[in-house]
A and B are shown apart, each in its own frame.
Chain A
Amino acid sequence: MHVTTRLWIWAMRPYAAAGASKYIVAVAATGLALSALRPAFERPALTAIALILLGKIVATFPETSNHSLLEFLAVALFAFLDRRSVEEGELLLRACRWMVLIVLFWSGLQKVLYGTYFHAQFLGAFIAFKSSFAQAFGAILPVAELARLQSLPIRAGAGPFAVNSLPLVMLSNAVYLVEMVLPALLLWTRTRAAAVLAAILFTAVLQTAAREIFFGALFLNLLLLFARRGVNRRLLPLFAMLYLGLLMTRLLAPGVYFN
């Protein structure tokens, strides 16, 4: 559902290099996804979808988003392992969980290594230059600080982008701390349930603010693999509504930005 929705939305974007072939890809992936619902066709269909995603990554490299890799790897794992076998099902679950832990941890560590979150410099710059971030974080900034940031030009020497607002600086530091600590809490059985809830909340807020709805949805699905078995399945109607909503938004309001 995730992959086909994303492929349809990709197909609807103006992208001169691919032309009408994007629709062929979207139609093929939809057909394969539907056939994957039948157990006998599940793994061959998922293998074909994984190949389509790999082809798309190769064709658009290096413009490909990090999200695309995670999406491909998740599908490839489901194609590679037979989840009906207890042993392989367990291996599949553990592999997907490890991917989540690695992505979360590195997302936090990279922010530390770049050093642009200690004084909220990155958030300050994005609030200055991106209206979606100004809308999302403007409410916790003093009006004068928001106005100062938004008046900064994009040129060498402009700044400072360090934000003079304790709540935003705390939030900025919380981002990488949460990303680096959550993996440990997700690993430890005793803290796992609380960590899943915290991670879901964190991902939902952060990805919504960044308008990275597809990455958010994929990551929420993967995070739910740490919850009790079957939660993903129970939440399927909710995700179906989300994907349908995204598709309708792209059709009816193509100017609305989300990724």
Chain B
Amino acid sequence: MNVAAKRRVIAAGLVVFALWPLVHRVLVLRYDISPWRFFGWAMYCQPKFAPEVAIYVRRGAERIPLIEAAGEPSELQRRRRDYVRRREMWGGLLAPDNLGREALRAAGDADVVEIIVRRLVIEPATSRLTAREETYTYPAAPPSSG
């Protein structure tokens, strides 16, 4: 490769390198990905707190934490810990679908499993920690007829 071609490659690379943080900012705003990850140079802009992942079971009108409804099998605990770790980075790009399926299986006769993900951020206007919350609902499959 001659010098002119190398110059073009490097110029293109630098343009991408310079514009990526803008895309990163959009991804943080839209999907709540971690400001500390994905090469956006936004470390030290928000504290890095692991999200809280709460699992609830609905049976009719009753809504109780999974741990009270069915305990929490060790496999599910492991999956929840793993999800918390990955969710901190991927934000809303990573829905807890596998965890939802596993929770439905563990809950047995639940109508619906609800997974609530809460993450703390500093709200600049109030300077206080605010919880950003997202709820995922997993209805049990209807019993097959016949």
Q: Does B42 touch A at the CB level, under 8 Å?
A: yes
Q: Does A113 touch B at the CB level, under 8 Å?
A: yes
The A interface, classified by DSSP as helix, strand, loop or mixed, is helix
Q: Please, what's the 1-or-0 string for A67-110, where 1 marks a CB less than 8 Å from any CB in chain B?
A: 00100010001001100010110010001001100110011011
Q: How many residues of A contact B (CB 8 A)?
A: 45
Q: Please, what's the 1-or-0 string for B8-51, where 1 marks a CB less than 8 Å from any CB in chain A?
A: 01100010011001000100000000111111111111110100
A122 to B39, CA, bound (A): 20
Please name all residues of chain A whose beta carbon is closer than 8 Å to the beta carbon of B36 when the two chains form the complex.
Answer: 66
B122 close to A161 (CB less than 8 A): yes
A66 to B39, CA, bound (A): 5
Q: Does A10 touch B at the CB level, under 8 Å?
A: no
Q: Closest CB of chain B to A120's CB: distance in Å?
A: 9
A125 to B44, CA, bound (A): 10
A160 to B130, CA, bound (A): 11
A158 partner, pick from B14, B46, B118, B128, beta carbons under 8 A? B128
A64 to B129, CA, bound (A): 26
Q: Closest CB of chain B to A117's CB: distance in Å?
A: 8
Q: How many residues of B contact A (CB 8 A)?
A: 37
**Residue picked from B10, B35, B89, most chain A C-beta under 10 Å:** B10
B89 close to A69 (CB less than 8 A): no
B17 partner, pick from A91, A102, A210, beta carbons under 8 A? A102
A114 to B21, CA, bound (A): 13
Q: A87-B3, A91-B7, A155-B120 are in contact. Are A116 and B46 (CB under 8 A)?
A: yes
B129 close to A157 (CB less than 8 A): yes
**Residue picked from A119, A156, A210, most chain B C-beta under 10 Å:** A156
Across the two chains, which residue of chain B brings its CB closest to A98?
Answer: B14
Please name all residues of chain B whose beta carbon is closer than 8 Å to the beta carbon of A114 when the two chains form the complex.
Answer: 35, 42, 45-46, 124
Within 8 A of B (CB), among A148-176: 154-162
Q: Does A14 touch B at the CB level, under 8 Å?
A: no
A98 to B126, CA, bound (A): 37
Q: A111-B45, A158-B129 are in contact. Are A121 and B124 (CB under 8 A)?
A: yes
Please name all residues of chain B whose beta carbon is closer than 8 Å to the beta carbon of A126 when the two chains form the complex.
Answer: 44, 47
Instruction: Give 11 new A-B contacts, CB below 8 A, not counting A154-B129, A161-B122.
Output: A62-B37, A62-B90, A64-B37, A80-B6, A81-B10, A111-B44, A113-B42, A114-B45, A114-B124, A154-B120, A210-B44
Seen from chain B, the residues whose Cβ lies within 8 Å of a Cβ on chain A are: 3, 6-7, 9-10, 14, 17-18, 21, 25, 34-47, 49, 89-90, 118, 120, 122, 124, 126-131
Please provide the 4 A-B residue pairs with the shortest distance between their CB atoms, ordered closest to farther.
A159-B128, A115-B124, A162-B127, A160-B127
Q: Pull 28 A–B residue pairs with CB atoms less than 8 Å apart, ordered by A.
A: A66-B40, A73-B17, A77-B10, A85-B3, A87-B3, A88-B3, A88-B6, A91-B7, A91-B10, A98-B14, A102-B17, A106-B40, A110-B21, A110-B25, A113-B45, A114-B45, A116-B45, A116-B46, A121-B124, A124-B127, A125-B122, A155-B129, A156-B130, A157-B130, A158-B129, A159-B128, A160-B127, A161-B127
Seen from chain A, the residues whose Cβ lies within 8 Å of a Cβ on chain B are: 62-64, 66, 69, 73, 77, 80-81, 85, 87-88, 91, 95, 98-99, 102-103, 106-107, 109-111, 113-116, 118-119, 121-122, 124-126, 129, 154-162, 210
